[in-house]
Amino acid sequence: VSSEHVPARVAVVGAGAMGAGIAYVCAGTGHAVTLTDASPAALDAGLERVRSYAADGVRRGRLDPAAASDLLARVQGAETAERAVAGADAVIEAVVEDLDVKRDLFARIEALVASETLLASNTSALPIGAVMGSLQRPGRAIGMHFFNPVPAMRLCEIVVGARTETETVTRAVGLAQGLGKETVVVRDVPGFATSRLNAVIGNEAFRMLEDGVATAEDIDTAAKLGLNHPMGPFEMIDLVGLDVRLAVMNALEREFGDAYRPSDLHRRLVRDGRLGRKSGRGIYEYDHAGRRGGTDLSA
Ligand SMILES: NC(=O)c1ccc[n+]([C@@H]2O[C@H](COP(=O)([O-])OP(=O)(O)OC[C@H]3O[C@@H](n4cnc5c(N)ncnc54)[C@H](O)[C@@H]3O)[C@@H](O)[C@H]2O)c1
């Protein structure tokens, strides 16, 4: 990939929610994409998700049917990572958030690609320096943190490891901008910029709830109508998952100390299996159709 938008060959490894979204936006901006996953069923589901993003684009009038079929023709499923990354100009990794899995994968990939291939990880919280720690040439490695759902979310947070070369930053910014994303460039510290801000706002909201400052609904309404946030902090936490957010808080507390200590209420809800939308109950309760009901934090 060069710093200008030139169609390239992009391999996306991991075909879950994020990988499918990344493959879709890459193909939608002219790149030839190979999508792969360790699980054949997950690869099928990922390709299906790409097709449904395209169908959705057509339905909403954002994509004409011919462009949608061209887009889909640019996405190929590959059964192995080896096949997916062969000849790639850039590899974007979006596998499970597990340091060992990501490290092993990048070590394998590095042996299969050209020395100038850009290597990017979509990790939400792991240090890029650690993810890329096993590479012979970490200078071409970087974080490209996309947000869910990728086609709708406008930011790509570019995370610069201590050993990332300046040219790699330029290339990653160029790639992201070519995908239609805005970029911010951040240093490789836990929580980057987005997760750290989100953690503070969410934690403060929990503490306010514990202190009886206002109800959860009113704290969310305050953020939405008074601060112009599109979502309230509790709506956001229920979407992200209370367990996922707790893991982020724990990592931030280890790095930055007490200011990031997760609230007792947050910990109790996770202990009780109240993980947010995905478990039907977090701060709020959800019915089978995912519609939000009230909140009962007494037990
Ligand atoms: N979901 C989000 O909101 C979000 C946002 C930003 C970043 N992320 C990050 O993106 C990454 C993926 O998240 P997701 O929500 O798409 O997860 P997901 O669980 O939907 O998908 C992960 C996929 O990786 C596959 N996989 C696991 N090990 C693999 C391997 N060795 N090789 C190839 N494929 C492998 C799994 O089969 C699975 O299909 C994580 O690092 C996550 O932290 C997630």
Distance, CA 145 to ligand 1 centroid (Å)?
Answer: 12
Measured from the CB, is residue 13 less than 6 Å from ligand 1? yes
Distance, CA 208 to ligand 1 centroid (Å)?
Answer: 33
Predicted local confidence at residue 60, as pLDDT: 95
Distance, CA 21 to ligand 1 centroid (Å)?
Answer: 11
Q: Quick one: which of 50, 109, 105, 108 has its CA closest to 85?
A: 109
Predicted local confidence at residue 120, as pLDDT: 98
Measured from the CB, is residue 95 less than 6 Å from ligand 1? yes
SS3 149: coil
Distance, CA 138 to ligand 1 centroid (Å)?
Answer: 22
Measured from the CB, is residue 194 less than 6 Å from ligand 1? no
pLDDT tens by residue, the chain, 299 residues = 555 567 799 999 999 999 999 999 999 999 999 999 999 999 999 999 999 999 999 999 999 999 999 999 999 999 999 999 999 999 999 999 889 999 999 999 999 999 999 999 999 888 999 999 999 999 999 999 999 899 999 999 999 999 999 999 999 999 999 999 999 999 999 889 999 999 999 999 999 999 999 999 999 999 999 999 999 999 999 998 999 899 889 989 998 999 999 999 999 999 999 999 999 999 999 999 889 999 988 86
Total Cβ atoms within 10 A of residue 259: 10
For ligand 1, atom 5, the nearest C-alpha belongs to: 147
CA distance 124 to 15: 16
Q: Quick one: which of 94, 96, 87 has its CA closest to 36?
A: 94
Atom of ligand 1 nearest to the CA of 13: 33
Measured from the CB, is residue 37 less than 6 Å from ligand 1? yes
CA distance 34 to 51: 14
156: left (phi over 0), alpha (psi -120 to 50) or beta: beta
